[in-house]
Every structure is written in structure tokens, then in C-alpha cells.
Chains A and B, each alone.
Chain A
Amino acid sequence: MPRTLYEKLVDQHVVATIDDSHVLLYVDFHVMNEYTSPQAFAGLHSAHRPVRRPRAHLAVVDHVNPTRPITDLSQIEDAGGRLQIETLSANCARHGIQLFDLFDPRQGIEHVVVPENGFAWPGMVIACGDSHTTTYGAFGALAFGIGTSEIEHVLATQTLVYKVLKPMQVRIDGALPTGTSAKDIVMAFVERVGAAGASGFAVEFTGTTIDALSVEARMTLCNMAVEAGARAALIAPDQKVFDDLAGRPQAPKGAALADALRDWQDLRSDPDAAFARVVEIDTRAIAPLVTWGTSPDQSAPITARIPAPQGAGDQRALDYMGLDAGQPLDSIAIDRAFIGSCTNARIEDLRRAAAILDGRTVADGVTAIVVPGSKQVRAMAEAEGLDAIFKAAGFDWRGAGCSMCLAMNDDVAASGERCASSTNRNFEGRQGRGARTHLMSPEMVAAAAVTGTLTDVRTLMKATP
């Protein structure tokens, strides 16, 4: 029987069938951070259970750390965050788990660090205590977020009790219009199906637009698919993915790689495989998007006006955001600009933002920071001179981490402040209590930073000769 890519990946990892909808699924690789793992280790310890396969885990510090330079943990003023970092390192040492701690040159946001070091491969099942784990679907890995109890379950058993999803195909064909990038595709998808529209589904992105995207852009797409409720996002791996992996430190090599490549060729949906739902998106309709509300599906093209509220939820969002229906989106003034997060803080993202900022400066009254996704991204950007462009424009050039994506460290927006943000969630209070977040691509954040107002990036793009 023809199968979808998702079904193949599940089938290859079923340890046992539990009931009609659940299987015991094998987890090839598991990633942890400092804030969702401590209680999992505590549970393990109180039950006197060992970690089943220590080499199948990686831990990274990213959520609570400051992004200003420090040389010692004692310089972290926040005692709770410091305790989480220390606890992670004690737990990793105790169980022999690899850790990229704050001072490791490979440290950064987990979903940037994992692919960058070649830990994510086609055909793997990868779990992590963070919802944006869907990122690794860009490599053809079945990857999804889990809670703390499930982290404990993976540590103890290397498996998860897994609810099998329905496959959804999202077909996108055609060239991406000027001024748009993967962020706009995924925001258009989330807007189209709604914040719960892909709930219960594993999404597979296909079509000529996807084929043409770089691996990094595919990560942006898969990363944010979770904002439509998708518990998994996939793209069939192609030569671009195989080339990207080649030479990364943790990727398979030699004979193992040769065999892997043979198996990876088969990681695609069979031509007549049935999807439970098919969504088609026409790239000609994609424009640079910004959110106007407090849910990632509340977005519109920058050239549009804020739509009339449909229901109490929309009105509540507008009240929180301090906006009115009918207001042109490109008339909204901002206080802050943030470029960062696992969605949009890889090198290509920084390059596109820097291209807009080159020769321009941040508008008066706007506080702008850029937080590279990892230390390696930061070093690469510095080698290319991007840091100089950001700094000359008036952006603060920071160390790696999640930072103002969820504002668990000291990078927080004040109540009422409005932030143009390259992140993935515009929830109430996400960037600080009362803070107002507008999601958009990094190049759109750069455009807003220099004008002080949400702006159509296309008006600032240099004409291509």
C-alpha cells in the first residue's frame, strides 16, 4: 500500500502497538534544555532509574542565559536561571550526557545548534522538550516537542507512547515574490488554516517552491508549522539536505554514510499515497506579512489594513495590542526591534536583514537588538562583517540564546511597548507583561527598525541591476 513520508517514518520506529491510535515509538535522538528538563531528571532519580542510552541525548543551555557577555556563571544575577543551568550540568555529568554549556563555542538555541552540528538526519525520530522541535523536519526527520514527563520517559526508556497523526499535504508551487521569504510562506499557511488548523496532523510541505528553498529556509518553515498546531512538519530530503549534512561534525561518515544515503533515497511520499487533507498555497498571493493580534494566525499583508474583528477573540487581541480595525498596518509605530529566535536567527536571516540595514540607521526612539541563533552563527556573521553593519545601524550585537523570543532572561519589553520581532509567537505577555509583539521576517524587522514604523520591506530594497 502506498504510504506518505510521515507513515514511513512512524512505521520504521514502531516498537510495539498500544491501541488503535497509539504506538510505542523509538526515539533515535533527544535534545534537552535547562528549563524543561530538571524535573524529569528529579523524577528519574527518585525512582532510581538509569538513563537507557546516554549517547542518544544532547543538552544545550539557551533559554535563561543572558546575551550580554559573561565569563562566569556567578555573573548571572537571576538565581533561578543560574540554578537551572547548574542543575543541567550536574545532571549531564552524572549520566554521561553531552552538554553544550554556556561557555562552549557550540552553544546557542537548541534548534539552531542541533542541525548546525549535524545531529539531525533524514529518517530519524527526534524529540525535545520544546514545541519548535518540528524544525528538524527540514531534514526529513520526524521531530516533535514533548513535555517534561515525556522527557523522563525518553531518558528511562528511549521510547514514547505516541499518538499517530493524520498526514496533511501542503503544496506550494511557484516562485517566491520579491521581498518575501520562508517566514512569509509559513505565516501565510498559519493564517490560512488557523492556529488549530493543523492540530492532529503531521504536515508535509511539497511543491516547486519548497524544492527551491535553501535548507535553512526549510527550517524556518518547519519550525513555525507548530503555530498551526502541527505536531510534526516534514520535507522530503533531497540532494540539498545531503550536501548540507556532508562534513558536519556529527553526521554519519564513510560506509555508514553510503548506507544512509541509500536508505534516505526512499524517504518520500509514494506518488499515490493518500493524505487526510491537502492545502494548496499560491505563491503569487504571498506578500510580506505582519501579525496584528496575539495569535500567530492573526496576520495580514503589510499593505493591508487591520481587518474587522470576527468574534470576541479578535476584539480582545486588538484591545491588548492597542490597535483599531481599519488602521493601515504600515502606520503602526514601534518601540523595539528584535532579530533572533530559532525561526529566524541563522546566517541567511542575518544576511537578509543586514542587506536592508546597510547604510541606514535605526530610527530615533527605537531600541534594536540582534541575537544570533548560536555562537557559530555569530562567528560566521562577524567573519562576513555583518556585525559591523548591525552595529553601524544602531543595533545591539549580542551573544546567542532565546533572549527576547520568550524573555526568560533580562531582555524584556516593557508593558505597552511595541516590538517588531522575527520570532514565532505574539502571545499576550510573551516578550514581557503587557508587551505587544508583531511577528514578521527578519528583513521586515530591519525595515521597521530604520523607519520606526511597520514598513513594507520592498520599498527599501535596492533595485537589482
Chain B
Amino acid sequence: MFSRGSKAPAVIALVASVLGLIFASSSTLDYAAHLDRRLHNVHCSFIPGASADPKAEACRAAMYSPYSALLKDQYWGGIPISLFGLGAFCFFAAFALYLLLAGEKTSRRTLGFFALLGTTPLLVSLLMLTISITQLGQICKTCAGIYISSALLAFGAVTAWLSARGDASRPSISFALVPAWLVGLGVTALAPAVVYAASAPDQRPYITQCGEIKQAKIKGDSPVKIRGARAVQPTMLFEDPLCPTCKAFHDRLVAENIIEKLDIELVLFPLDNECNWMLDSALHPGACIVSKAVLCGEGNARQVLEWAYDQQEYLTRAGKAGENTLRAAIKQRWGESLLRCVDDKKTDVRLNNHLHFASENNIPVSTPQMYLGKRRVCDEDTDLGLRFTLSQLAPEVLK
């Protein structure tokens, strides 16, 4: 593709490495910023260095997912995998610069090594891309930036090697340099992660600071019971079936297999002023009706809840279109008898009892909320810090 001795492949590899470095930095910066337990905008753009975006749902979903970091039980939020990318791209940028400056003095063995290792970020990227598509159902732009950079790097590295094949004029080098380079790559790839792990603030004093529930039982009623297959931890959840954050939280509990260890009492807390007097307007129109469907699910409550989460976009549109559209969707999936239950005044009273339970406990008007026993799990500990918090407050859940 490129003529023998062309510097284009090295330039491509250098540019790709710098781009990868920038995207990995943005991703790491977002992660590190959240260590202060506050909400921050997230970088989510194909433009390297673009400012953080408040509506970066795909990137936020990727960040909160179980695949974004390692050692989540040991470190709050875990060690983001972007840190390894950050270090590795430093190595590849420096190596590409060397290839660019050395030109035809570069040995074929050196180019072979670079071609071999230069494809590893692409392999990791392909793995992460597959996870994004199959598990998260969306691709974050910053992650895509890293994937594209990795592909470019692999292209530059391989074409550099291909363009030097058969060039007998190139010098040869000792095999001893190969392990040295590998050590260099290992050190650069690990260094940011080691520093991050060593300097990340201790979150333990904060995870128990979000209070307790005052009244543990609903007066005159019962919550929805969702008992996992190996339930060991009594847990109370306040959820709204049309709340996207609740869906993401539920998906995390399922993906990390945590839900099977929880003995859940689900309290429905729809953020819809049709039934919830605590709101002036509906955040999630139709959530009252869908909540009643969950209540009517009884033994199948988890299935109804998960159906609502799976169909959340459609149900949200239906909720905005009007009550009848929503009722038709419920009838189509769950049949006439469940819809009759939804329309029963007793179900209104049950949902009202759930809302009164929330008001008697003066919980924050937000969803989702998780209580381990009586202790409230802070909002920030239900997303990035979920596994770490569980490892501290309910370690048996992670066993």
C-alpha cells in the first residue's frame, strides 16, 4: 500500500496513538471526576477534547456498566480500563515517534514487534465494541473514538511492517530488546492504573452517611416481593417502572448477578402526578398505570417490572399518547384480567399506600432508591460504587 521506506505508516500510528491518548484521557477524567461522589457532565464526542456533555447517556451508561472497570469490589468504582489504554497509547505514541525518526534504519524485527503489539488495542476494542452492542445496546462516542484510534494504530503498525518486508538493507537488532520493550509497555500501561488505585480517595466513611428508613413496614399493605434464587440480603427498593435510571440500575443488578442474592421488597414510587401528589407535573407520564400493573403482577411482579423496563421507550411514548394506549399495551401483553386488576379501586389504594409509605418515611423524591436492611444506599453508591458499597455493607451478596 505504501512505498518501501514511506513514513506514512509511522505518521498514521503516531496520530492514532495521540488520538487514542486524548480519548482515553477524557474517559479517565470523567471517571476520576466522579470520585467526589457528585454528578458531572461526561465527555461524549468524536471530537477529541470536546467539552463534557450533560446529555451523554450512552457514555454514562458505559461508565456505569460492569464492563468499564476492574476490581470494583476492592476500589470504589473500580480501576477504569481506560487507564490501561491511556498508558498503552503513551507507549505506542513514543514507539511510533521512534519509527518516524528512525525511518529506514528501523529493523524488520522492530517493525514486526510493533505490528504484533500495535494490533492488541484493536483486539481489546473489538471485544469492548461487542460488549457495547450486545450487552449495553449502545456505543458511547468517546469509546468509539478509542476503537477508531486503535484501528488506525493497527493499520499504521501493520502497514509499516508490510512495507519493510523483504527489505534486506535494514539493520538487524538483538532479540534482547523485545523483552525490554514488553517491560516498557507493561510499565507504561500499568503506571496510570497503579497511581489511580493508590491516590483514589477512601469512600468508606461516606457510604453510610445517607440515613436509614424510619418505618420499615407499609401500614395496612405489603410491598411487592421479589426474592432472588439465592437471596441472602433483605433489601427495599423504591422504583418507578418508567424511570430510565431505575431501568439502568435494575440492568446492573441483573448483569452483575446481584439480584439473585437480594430478598427485595419493592415499593412503587411513580414520578407521575396522576397519582403522586408530591409532583407538580409528570416526569414519567403513565408511570402510575404501569406501577399498578406491577402491583397486579403479584407472583409475576418481577416479570411485569422487567417487561416495563424492556419496553420502557414504547411505554413512555404510550404514556404521553394517553391512558388508553398504555392500557392497550398492558392488555396485549398481560391480558384482560391483569387490566381489570389495574382498574380496580383496591389497586389504586395499594399504590396510594406505597406512596404514603414513602411520605411517612420522608424519603427523597427520586428513583431508584435502595435500602440494605434499614440503611439507605447513597445514590452515587447505586451506580459507580455499587459493588464496592455492597462489598462493605453486604459482602455476602457478592460471594
* A and B together in one complex: no
Report A's interface with B, CB cutoff 8 A.
none
